[in-house]
Structure formats: C-alpha cells, structure tokens
Structure 1
C-alpha cells in the first residue's frame, strides 16, 4: 500500500496526519485542545461584525465553526485532495445534507442499487415529498447508468465498493456520463477510505465518509464528513450545514482526530489481514464464493486495481449450508462480535443481513486488528462445532 503525497507538500500523508507544527497558542501541546464551548466573543463590535461576514472560516458560534472540529476538517480535506471538508454528527447526516445541497424540487437522481440502506430510504421515502425521484441501477454497468439519465437528472450517487455486496462502479466513466448530462456526482467512499481511493481525482464532485468506520477506528464515535471543491462546499455550509444543524461536537472531533493519526498504519494491517482471511475462505469447499475486490477472483478486480491503491477488510462470502447452521457457526465464533457497522479494532460477523434473494446464505465479515492466525483458528473451531468440514 503506497501512501500518496499531497501536492502542496513533499511530506507523505502519513507524516502529515501524525505531525502538527509547534503551536505556542496552546503552550506547545502535542494534541490540540478541545474547544468545549458554544460561542466565541470579540473585543469590539467591529471585530464581531467582520467575523460574522466570514463564518465559514472564522470562529463565531460552534454550530458553524469550532477550532477542534476545524482541525479535523483540514486534515481530512488534505487527505482527500479536497478544497474543504465539513464534519457532521453522523455518516447519515453527511449523506442527507450532501444530497439536499445539490437537488431541488422536480429533480431526478440516479443511484446505484447497492447503496447504503438508510441512504436509499432517504431517496425513496423522504425526497418524494419534494418531488425528487430516484432511479436505482446496477452500478457495475456503465450503460445502465447512462440509460437511466433523464433531462432533469441532477445527481448520480455512487458507492464504490458497496458495503454489502462489494461491487464497484467505474467512477471516472460514471462521472463523465453525469457531467455530460449536466449532473453532479456524489460518492460514499467509506469502504476504501481516502488512503485507498481518491474519487475527486476521478471526476467526482463531492465525497462522503462515515467517520464512524475506519477513520475513527475505535468504535467510540459517530461522525460523517462531506468533502469537495470550494463552490459546492460553500453552498452546503451556508444552507444544509448551518440550517439543519447536524454538526459534530468538539469531543467527538478529538476522538476521530486520534483515530485519523493512525489510519494509514491500521489500513495496512486491515488490508493484509482481510486478504489473508478471504484467501483462507476461498480455499474452503463449503464456501461457494468470496466477494472481496482485492481477490483476483472478484469479477471487477482489474477495475479495483485501476482506481484504488489498496483494500480494506470488509467483505462477504456465500455458502449453500443452511442458514440455521451458519447462525450456529456465527454464535460459536469467539473473536467475532455480532453487530452492524465496522471499522473498529474488533472483528464482526452478520449472517443474511443483505436481504438478497438467493438460495445461498450470505455472510458479511469485518476483519479487525486481531492476529489473522487466531481468526483462522477461531473460524475453524466454529466450523468443527457446527459440523462444517474446514481445511487449512
């Protein structure tokens, strides 16, 4: 996994994430302080009035701009190659605000059919109140995206790789199609993280991250971010960000900044461990297929290597073993917790969580930071308990 270098600096991104210059304002504190306050005061009325004219860059009220959150936003923007970033209280807050910032009454959205469930619900159940329609398409087909475009299409919404079935979209081709039609492109980049994929360089207009996942990395903070170019981010700031008020708290920003410092190192380990477990499962006769973009067997592996510089550790496999026995298997696992989300230090498992209409049982695994040899031993022991033949 090669870390990219920011164009404004010769230092690697890993160094930029870890290192902050000495700051005498904070007495040389290595970790920036948490500005746990709601407002900022001024010595004169004129100073207040000047700051109020530039609330996007000045600290007036924490609902708009807080120094602790701002430090995190600057790091994220540099990492993604964006003009600016805004942090939200959750990934879903970032998704809904980003979508609302670029659609209006009567518009049409083209969205990949494997997008995050709550995001799809927002488009199918909430946006129709404002006469915004959505067409869901197979994102693996560029032609399906092209065919779904209408004269009133204002947004193409991508999620590559998707977080349930791990299918990819050709990001640059989809962006070209959207822009030719006068539409903008949003992408949920949570699976890959900015370490492994930079969609803005491929033509995307706005990038969304659930900071709850890999960026936070410790399963103790909810957060989301929207990143992009200056004019789009200014519009989002003055409208959806300020008016909906789903802002990130300073304490949360400090927790996520802590996780961001080690993101490159953790993603390297996640990639190695995830691929090792995926290869192990691919060798098992009881596993029908493994869907991990980093495996050569993945149908879009070549596309993955073209538009990504590395991989994460969330993937799925399918088996023809019945669901009840697979649930027994999952219950017996000692190193896997059963739960939604992912991106922390703990491994997770879900059985048949996609609702996919298939005669096979679908299992999603998240590989955490445990020793992969211990994880393989745990999977094998659970197989023995469930009467499933397992091979080294």
Structure 2
C-alpha cells in the first residue's frame, strides 16, 4: 500500500527521496525489498487477465517486481518521463531499446564519441542482424543532419561523452530526429537527472546505467530506459518478457536508496571535479584537460545551459608526450604511481576512480575508431569522488611531477 499520494509539484530532489515509497501492511519507512521469483494469484481468471496484461498485478519475477517498480517510478519522476523500464545493466538497456525499436533494414545515427561498448554493440553486433549505422562527430549538428536517411529510425547521443566529455545540443538533435520521423535517445549517465533532463529538451528516450551515479557507491549493476508509457508498454516490455534482461530486486533496492543522495553527491563531486580540472590545467605535465565546467572546454557555454550550470563529476586529461608510445608509458606511470585513488574502469562511485580508456573501456575498438573518438594513448579519465581535493591532487602529482 502507499498511505499517501505523492504530490505532483514536488521538487526533483524531494522526489528522489519520496517518490514511489510503496509500504506493505507493516508500514515500514524504508522501501521494502521483495525477494520472490513468483506470485500467488487470487484466482485462475485473475491470473489469465494479468498474464494477458488486462489487469494490474505481478505475475512472474522476469516480468516485474514491486521493488523494481518503485525504482522505475522514481527514476521516471526524476527524469520527467511518463514511464520507465529497468534492466540488468546499462548495456542491456541499450540492447532492449534497439530490439524494441529497430528491425533489419533500419538505420541508426550515433555519436562516434560514445562509450566503446555502445559503439561495438550498434556498429558491429546489430549489423549482423541487418541494422545499419552511421557514426558522426558528436558536436557537429550538420553532420547529424546529413547522416539521416529515409530509413533512419533512431538518433542516439551520449552527453557528456565518455571519456572526452563532449556535449551535444540535445534540442537541435531532437529537431533533426523529429523532422525525419525518427526518435532521439540520450545516454544521461554522466549528468543524471540531478544536472540534466533531456526529455525537457525534446529527447524521446533517456537511457541510464544505474551502475554509475544513481547507485553512487559502486555496489550493483542496473540499467533503465525512460520514455512514454506507450513506448515502454508496446516496445520495451515485450522484449523484457522474452529476453529476460531483468533487474534484480536487490539491485533495484540498492539503487533506490542511492538515488536519495544523488543531488548532494553530484554537487559535491562536481565541485571536486572543477577544482581538479583547474589544477590539471596548470600542471606542466598535462597537455590538455577535458571538462565541461572549464571555460576552455569547446562546449562550455552549451554545457552550462543544459547541465544546470554544472560540469559534472568526470573529466579526462592528456599527459604531455612526444608520441603515442610515450603517451601510453606516461599515462601508465601516473596510474601505477597512485597510492590512494582507485585504478578502475567504473565511474559514479564516492571513491575517485582513474582509468586508461584506450586500453580498457575503448580497448575493443580499432585504432581508427579510437582516433575518431579522440581517445589517445596518453588520455586518462578521472571519475572524481568525495575525498578531499588536496589528497586527490597529491596522489596524481606523484606520477605527473616526475615528467
């Protein structure tokens, strides 16, 4: 039961704490965790109606769960969407989106700067099933428009991108997609609804890896798609029922609790990221810093408009090097010199995580694909956590100061 209806005019931060608190007959204050694979039905007729989708009610763990439903309702409310469908991971959310919306002969336009696994899934794996794709420069609106074909069904952008934090004009891409009769999907993992709400700027679908900032402490895997109720019901739910990329109830419960502190974490970690970005820009061993909060970022003004005036908690930087081989060696030296920060490819944790994208997240791409995405051998990505900024800079200085 839900003893009170959640008011619809609440602030997003309040919704992160109060939305979809479904209480059982025991009246628990914290969201209940329902661990069950099946549900007892009140009658054969009710079971038939529920399995047919003609009556509300849970039927089987692969199809839905009360705890998972609470997570979906909360994220939809925070993103300003009608509905949400959760999945087992961020990549499974992208797969669900593609399976639910695309067929052989359809065409997708994507940013060439997206996460490496996204490029691999759409550019290589879906191609085996007859789905065409074109990858364009993230920030070139004209290139997006020129790439659209009569069979284009989806434009898919990630903003800011991983790892170069490139920012695209969401509203401009939405206009291009809708003019062509296509949909715009936006990966909002880096900014989260605490900083950016793509649907308010025209996006049709917002994709999340709940593994990142929604959880916030690196504990579980989760994914989600926010969209219209019709799209979730007609396009995504059938895929979930058949393919079973189901979010585990425990993982949903963990992310639900993480979302309660999303806003304050994002603000604090973004403050740290800004301070780190400024420090790196002044360091003699650094060639370039990529962070939307810095005036030096090419899309700084756009980012400040779209991301609530905040740069986010992820930045990347290139070490100074004479060639790619030296760049890789120096980047590895910085990583191996760290004594405090974590060498890890994940992001969104309260702990600062540092990675070498060219050999990890983008390691499966060809060198040509990495170059197109701007991922050099000397590039280091930092997902800034909640440690004191002086300790973060001191740990990176151990390697950078030796160049």
Instruction: Report the TM-score when normalising by structure 2.
Output: 0.89
Match of 1:154 in 2: 153
**Structure 1 106/59 Cα, relative in aligned 2: closer, same or farther at 3 Å?**
same
Q: CA RMSD in A?
A: 2.0
Gaps of at least 5 residues in structure 1 are: 1-6
Distance across 2 between alignment mates of 1:265 and 1:21: 20
Asked if residue 361 in structure 1 is aligned to residue 385 in structure 2, the reply is no
Match of 1:144 in 2: 143
Match of 1:338 in 2: 343
Distance across 1 between alignment mates of 2:154 and 2:306: 21
Match of 1:199 in 2: 198
Distance across 2 between alignment mates of 1:118 and 1:52: 34
CA displacement 1:80-133 (0-9 Å, x = unmatched): 001111110111100111122111111111111011111111112222222111
**Shift of residue 285, structure 1, vs aligned partner:** 2.3
Distance across 1 between alignment mates of 2:389 and 2:334: 18
Is the contact made by 2:20 and 2:71 (CA closer than 8 Å) also made in structure 1?
no
Distance across 1 between alignment mates of 2:46 and 2:357: 58
SS in structure 2 opposite 1:114? coil
| Count of residues in Structure 1 that have an aligned counterpart in Structure 2 | 380
Match of 1:328 in 2: 333
Is the contact made by 2:292 and 2:312 (CA closer than 8 Å) also made in structure 1?
no
Instruction: Report the TM-score when normalising by structure 1.
Output: 0.92
CA displacement 1:155-175 (0-9 Å, x = unmatched): 111111111111111111111
Match of 1:300 in 2: 299
Is the contact made by 2:330 and 2:378 (CA closer than 8 Å) also made in structure 1?
no
331, 342, 347: which is aligned to 2:352?
A: 347
**Structure 1 164/221 Cα, relative in aligned 2: closer, same or farther at 3 Å?**
same
Structure 2 counterparts to residues 1-392 of structure 1, below 5 A: 9-19=8-18, 25-54=24-53, 57-309=56-308, 310-321=310-321, 322=326, 323-351=328-356, 353=358, 354=362, 356-357=370-371, 361-384=378-401, 387-388=402-403
Is the contact made by 1:56 and 1:65 (CA closer than 8 Å) also made in structure 2?
no
Distance across 2 between alignment mates of 1:146 and 1:21: 39
Distance across 2 between alignment mates of 1:177 and 1:167: 19
Distance across 1 between alignment mates of 2:157 and 2:60: 33
CA displacement 1:142-191 (0-9 Å, x = unmatched): 00001001111111111111111111111111110111111111111101
Distance across 1 between alignment mates of 2:105 and 2:265: 44
CA displacement 1:56-79 (0-9 Å, x = unmatched): 952111111100100111100000
Distance across 2 between alignment mates of 1:189 and 1:152: 26
Match of 2:3 in 1: none
Gaps of at least 5 residues in structure 2 are: 1-5
**Structure 1 50/360 Cα, relative in aligned 2: closer, same or farther at 3 Å?**
closer
Is the contact made by 2:352 and 2:384 (CA closer than 8 Å) also made in structure 1?
yes
**Shift of residue 360, structure 1, vs aligned partner:** 7.0
Distance across 2 between alignment mates of 1:56 and 1:301: 49
**Shift of residue 12, structure 1, vs aligned partner:** 2.1
Distance across 2 between alignment mates of 1:20 and 1:106: 41
CA displacement 1:204-227 (0-9 Å, x = unmatched): 111100000010111110010001
**Shift of residue 350, structure 1, vs aligned partner:** 1.9
**Structure 1 56/331 Cα, relative in aligned 2: closer, same or farther at 3 Å?**
farther
Distance across 2 between alignment mates of 1:282 and 1:289: 7
Which shows bigger deviation, 374-383 or 162-171? 374-383
**Structure 1 57/13 Cα, relative in aligned 2: closer, same or farther at 3 Å?**
farther
Distance across 2 between alignment mates of 1:102 and 1:20: 29
Is the contact made by 2:207 and 2:225 (CA closer than 8 Å) also made in structure 1?
yes
